[in-house]
Amino acid sequence: MYRVLFVCMGNICRSPAAEAIIRTLAGKAGLSRFLEVDSAGTHAYHDGERPDPRMCKVAAKRAYDLKGLRARRLVNEDFLRFDLILAMDNQNLDYLRRKCPTGFHDKLGLFIDYARETGEEEIPDPYYGNAEGFERVLDLCEAAGEGLIKVIAPLAREGARF
């Protein structure tokens, strides 16, 4: 089992979208039994809440289901449990680097790094914007998700143990 955690600030827009997208892509690639995904926020602003209704709406148009997800804050155990912890932007990556125990920093990265062809350096926070911002987040998460699945698929074929 390979475990990936997606992290944004409040865990109601970008990271739950990434979680749902990767779960869907993993299913299509036959990786569901090999790949476990989750999402968390660096802050507890929305702890226990459902994803932002605007994100749910645009995600549903693309057949991604966010209904069962609930926001949670990152906990110290996440650094031990997950094999890869991907932030949506540099601010949250900096937070992860500060909180991460010694010896686990190699697990940290940016989700967008799996979609360098986009030319983007971060997946922007759509919270204070309009529907187009949420659509753009999904576009970037889909591109990064496809790149991530390409990296993870060979690990599953090799029977990697983590």
Tens digits of per-residue pLDDT, 52-79?
A: 999 999 999 999 999 899 999 999 999 9
Domains of the chain: total? 1
Tens digits of per-residue pLDDT, 16-40?
A: 999 999 999 999 999 999 999 999 9
- Buried b / exposed e across 24-40, counting CB within 10 Å, b at 16+? bbbeebebeebbbbbbb
**Residues with active-site annotation:** 8, 14, 125
Contact 85, 78 (CB under 8 A): yes
Q: What is the extent of the structural domain holding 24?
A: 2-157
Helix, strand and coil in the chain, % to nearest 5: 50, 15, 40
Question: What letter does residue 95 receive in the DSSP assignment?
Answer: H
In a domain, 124, yes or no: yes
Tokens at residue 21, please?
A: 């997208």
Contact 147, 114 (CB under 8 A): yes
Contact 109, 84 (CB under 8 A): yes
In a domain, 130, yes or no: yes
Tens digits of per-residue pLDDT, 110-135?
A: 999 999 999 999 999 999 999 999 99
CATH code of the domain covering residue 97: 3.40.50.2300
Could you tell me what percent of the chain has a pLDDT over 90? 93
pLDDT range class, residue 157, cuts 50, 70, 90:
confident
